Amino acid sequence: MSSDATTMTPSGDATPRSTPDLRIVALVGIAAGALGGLFGVGGGLIIVPGLVLVVKLERRLANGTSLAATLPIALASLSTYLYNGNVDWAVAGFLACGTIVGAIIGTKLLTILPKRTITIVFIVTVLATAARLFTTADTAGRDNATIYTGLLLVVIGLATGTLSGLLGIGGGVVMVPAMVVGLDMVPVIAKGTSVAVIVPTSIMGTIRNRKTAYVDLKVATVAGLSGAVTAVMGGMIADSISTSLSNIMFAFLLLFVAGTQFVTLRSDRRADLAAAAVDVD
């Protein structure tokens, strides 16, 4: 598949790009679905770098396409978690209230706050959470909901949506450890609840990204449907593993996320230095 296609930017400019190899896109989707189903994170951690580094999509187009591909993966994951009764709808509702507002705030702050500072804060937070998960024992489940619990969930959702808007990181990476560590939720229920929140978030985000032409629906469909199959399998595995093993596996995932963000931080730094050198010349 070497023919050329044209991408329209919001300004109306046409930029040629090669047509993606859909077989590779399908492989990216399969890997993302397994990750999304097992950890309740939607799969964007695999889809975005896969589309950028392997499929060679432009960064903003990859982000928007990834969000659209996340929908069928999240729906497939959700079906498995629902079948096993591993979704806390009350918690999901409070989280969704926060994530919707947070996504709006995050996209606004992206043009105001220094992204480097936010990325450093995110890395430190993720590393601290990973360390906490390594030492977390089996959980008995959250206590009955209170006003304090509801407010805490909205705040968690707000932080999740804001970080997602700023950094393009899937919300499950923030929500799942927050629910496990902060609310003492059983990991498998935290994952199912996270997936339930990701579904409406991906729908709204895709609608907005369609307006700015930052979605390749063909690529999103192939990646999403390919990942839907492995997402079901991942969800089944998540229901069968112990709490301690789940925490350790998720902690390693967080370490991986922190590593990718650190690499991004260094790449952005090198790009800034190169741009400064050009300006001096």
pLDDT of residue 223: 95
Residue 14 falls within a domain, yes or no?
no
Query: What residues pair up with 18 in beta bridges, in sequence order?
Result: 4
Q: Residue 68 contacts by C-beta under 8 Å, 6 or more apart in sequence?
A: 202, 206, 209, 215, 217, 220, 224
Q: Are 22 and 55 in contact (CB under 8 A)?
A: no
Residue 13 included in any domain: no
Does residue 280 fall inside a structural domain? no
**Strands, E assignment, 88-195:** none
The reply to whether 37 falls in a domain is yes
Q: Is residue 3 part of a domain?
A: no
Helix axes 115-134, 147-167, angle to 10 degrees: 130
pLDDT of residue 87: 93
- How far is the C-alpha of 15 from the C-alpha of 46, rounded, in Å? 25
Neighbours of 208 (CB within 10 A): 16
pLDDT of the residue at 2: 38
Residues of the chain with pLDDT under 70: 1-18, 107, 110-111, 115, 136-145, 165-170, 268, 271-281
Number of domains in the chain: 1
Q: Is 56 part of any domain?
A: yes
Q: What is the pLDDT of residue 136?
A: 64
CA distances from 42 to 139, 174, 249 (A): 23, 12, 16
**What per-residue confidence (pLDDT) applies to 205?**
77
What's the confidence (pLDDT) of residue 1?
38
Q: Is residue 136 within 8 Å of 201, Cβ to Cβ?
A: no
The CA-to-CA distance between both ends of the chain, in Å, stands at: 41
Q: In this predicted structure, what is the pLDDT of residue 12?
A: 46
Angle at 176 between CA 170 and CA 182, to 5 degrees: 135
- Residue pair 73/19 in contact by the 8 Å Cβ criterion: no
Task: Give me the domain span that covers residue 45.
Answer: 19-268
Q: H helices then E strands: how many in the chain?
A: 11, 2
The model's pTM is 0.76
Place of tokens 């089996």: 138
